[in-house]
Chain A
Amino acid sequence: MTGHVFGLGIGLAALGVAIGLGLIGYSAMQGMSRQPEAIGKIQTAMLIALAFVELVFLLTVFVVPGSLKI
């Protein structure tokens, strides 16, 4: 049973993170197409934001099994 809950939780986390990553990519692309001369800066900021959003999922993956066992 816990395995199923774990899977569902991971799936939900992946869903949210995917939406977040998509939003970041979407707005970054829009910004790049509006201001092609600022591509370098936008890319840097985009990568940083992507990294932080990704971290949320990683944290979920590592924290969820532990919290289920307690």
Chain B
Amino acid sequence: MANQKSSSGLPFPVILVIGIAMMAGGFYVSKNVHIEFLTKLAEQGISLDPGKTISAIGVLLILFPVIRSFYIGPLGDAISGRTAELERTFTEAESLRSEMTQMRSDYERRLVETESAAREQIQSEIRKAQELRGQLEADARSRADEYLHKAQADIENEKNRVITDLRLHVVDLTLGATEKILGENVDSDRNRKLIAEFIDKVEVPG
């Protein structure tokens, strides 16, 4: 209470002195002063002792600042401090929450970005793969065609060679047969016809 002003604006020592003086004065008044009016009042059932009143005022004057500094001040401080702390906690929580919201929106934005980037990449990869596939397919097809052509050509060549060989062989056979026939009977028409028929028959498989 020393540095704190009381509610009436006076410093506490002054109030203390006034209070003690009023208590003493009240005691004196109560013992020595008798007012006619008050005795009449007491007969009516209203007992009023100004000494008691003055002393009580003195006591209360001292009591109020003491109670205030003893309890009500600390209680008010505690309550307002608690309120302030609560408010501070709330604002902190609020700011934290807004930060969290900010972070979340950031994260979500980044997530969306990443997703779209990934999708794009996947698309481009797919496109590339499709291109590659087409290329490979065309390549394979062309190579297969090439092989086919080559194989057909080989087959043709082989056939021609075999046919040529066969002709030669047939000619040789024919010559042999001819020699034999010639050895037996040359110049017979019937033989000539036979040879011709033979040759015709031989040439069919070719």
Docked CA distance A69–B45 (Å): 12
Assess whether B45 is in contact with A62, with CB atoms less than 8 Å apart.
yes
B-side interface size class: under 10
Assess whether B43 is in contact with A69, with CB atoms less than 8 Å apart.
yes
Main secondary structure of the interface of A (DSSP, over half): helix
Asked if B44 is at the interface (CB within 8 A of a chain A CB), the reply is: yes
Docked CA distance A63–B46 (Å): 9
Chain B residues near A65 (CB, 8 Å)? 44-45
Query: How many inter-chain contacts with C-beta < 8 Å in the A-B complex?
Result: 13
Chain B residues near A66 (CB, 8 Å)? 40-41, 43-45
Chain B residues near A69 (CB, 8 Å)? 43-44
A-side interface size class: under 10
Docked CA distance A44–B108 (Å): 55
**B residues 40-90 with Cβ under 8 Å of A?**
40-41, 43-46
Q: What distance in Å separates the Cβ of B168 from its nearest Cβ neighbour in chain A? A: 128
Bitwise, B26-51 to A at CB < 8 A (1) or not (0) is 00000000000000110111100000
Chain A residues near B43 (CB, 8 Å)? 66, 69
